[in-house]
Structure 1
Amino acid sequence: MTVQPIGETCSDDVLVSAARAGDRTAFGLLYGRYARVVHGILLCRVPPRDVDDLVQEVFLLVLRQLHSLRDISRFGAWLSTITRNRANDYYRKASPVDRATDPAGEEQAEIRTNDHAVEQEAAMTLAVLRTLPETYRESLTLRLVEGMTGPEIAARMGLTHGSVRVNLHRGMQMLREKLDEKARSAAQNMGKAR
């Protein structure tokens, strides 16, 4: 029997099996492959200031629960579900002040205090993106913020490439419409202010 060394070219199934057996290198490689997915899903749901800490919490939880994963070929979908649940828990455990803080409103506050036009535009776009339906919001965040390709998103999320392509296309249409609407509204408000 030949033992394949754990490396970056190993399949997720091999890495999950090795990580279940206690191989920390394999788990580190899984972290490297999936950290952007977890970050993107959380960025859609919780205030940006808390995303990095929650990414770490998700992976610690995954490490503890890896033995409960029934089908190792579904690791990406399982991880995504854990991430969404952790985001929901964030709001259940949050203080009333944190719960009252709307993530989209938080970006608006950042826009007002930020001097850089590009950063303002990015924060506004993220705020608008967060108003989209979950399916589009996640796919677009992974594409636009995390820089993942359609096939990468499909592979990491356990989706078909076709469904990701449709989600990205429809999501971009919705995002453009909402951004255009927001720009028109801002222009009208500027006209009224004069």
Structure 2
Amino acid sequence: MKRCKEGDTQSFRQLYHRHQQRVRSALYQLSGASHLDDLVQEVFLRAWKGLPNLRQASQFSTWLYRIAWNVASDQRRHFAQANTQRQTLSKTQPVEQEAPDLMHLHYQDLVQRGLAQISLEHRAVLVLHDLEDVPQKEVAQILGIPVGTVKSRLFHARDAMRQFLQKQGVQP
């Protein structure tokens, strides 16, 4: 970490290889597959630029997840703005009919659909804690919320996912 802070790109490359799969997984769960490579790249670019400001090397993964959360949030805002613009345009242009959903979905697709049904705040807690195995205390640090809020959001997110999966015919 010390060498990374001093600008050693080889050391940062090692950090990238150590953490990129978990960052990729978290971003996939938070944002989906669209532009995933770009989002991962953005996380590590922000990490590289922000390394001089990192105080404790032991908290690197927590700090990195916080950056991933920020990147996912930024992307969500960007897509919301773009969607609003598309809706404005679609009022004057005919809307093409979308292709029907596939009958057989892979398990990951089902989980993605379930995650898409819950708020970003609940999704973030569920992804970080249950899918990425980040302890509740670290999730609280990453998201900048109290541990009690993490526990509450986790409870509600799990309940929402359970209900969604039951509606899809998945039995516990």
Q: What is the TM-score normalised by the length of structure 1? A: 0.58
What is residue 129 of structure 1 aligned with on the other side? 115
What is residue 44 of structure 1 aligned with on the other side? 29
- Deviation >4 Å, runs of 4+: 98-101, 169-174
Give CA deviations for 1:124-169 in whole Å, capped at 9, x if unaligned: 2221134452312333333xxxxxxx4xx45xx946xxx9xx99x9
Change in Cα spacing, 1:180 to 1:92, as seen in structure 2 (3 Å) is closer
Change in Cα spacing, 1:80 to 1:98, as seen in structure 2 (3 Å) is farther
Of the three residues 36, 47, 68, the one matched with 1:62 is 47
What is residue 167 of structure 2 aligned with on the other side? 181
What is residue 23 of structure 1 aligned with on the other side? 8
Larger Rg: 1
Percent sequence identity is: 23
2:31 is paired with a residue whose SS is: coil
Change in Cα spacing, 1:129 to 1:140, as seen in structure 2 (3 Å) is farther
1:110 Cα deviation (Å)?
A: 8.7
Of the three residues 107, 125, 130, the one matched with 1:140 is 130
Tell me: higher relative CO, structure 1 or 2? Use CA pairs within 8 A at least 6 residues apart.
2
The 5 Å alignment of 1:93-108 reads: 93-94=78-79, 95-97=81-83
Give CA deviations for 1:157-183 in whole Å, capped at 9, x if unaligned: 946xxx9xx99x967676344301232
What is residue 72 of structure 1 aligned with on the other side? 57
Change in Cα spacing, 1:88 to 1:98, as seen in structure 2 (3 Å) is farther
Aligned counterparts of 1:178 and 1:17: Cα–Cα separation in 2: 46
Aligned counterparts of 2:77 and 2:162: Cα–Cα separation in 1: 32
Aligned Cα root-mean-square deviation (Å): 3.5
Give CA deviations for 1:50-91 in whole Å, capped at 9, x if unaligned: 122100111011111110112221111111111111111123
The answer on 1:32 being equivalent to 2:17 is yes
Aligned counterparts of 1:65 and 1:74: Cα–Cα separation in 2: 13
1:111 Cα deviation (Å)?
A: 8.0
The answer on 1:89 being equivalent to 2:79 is no
Aligned residues: 143
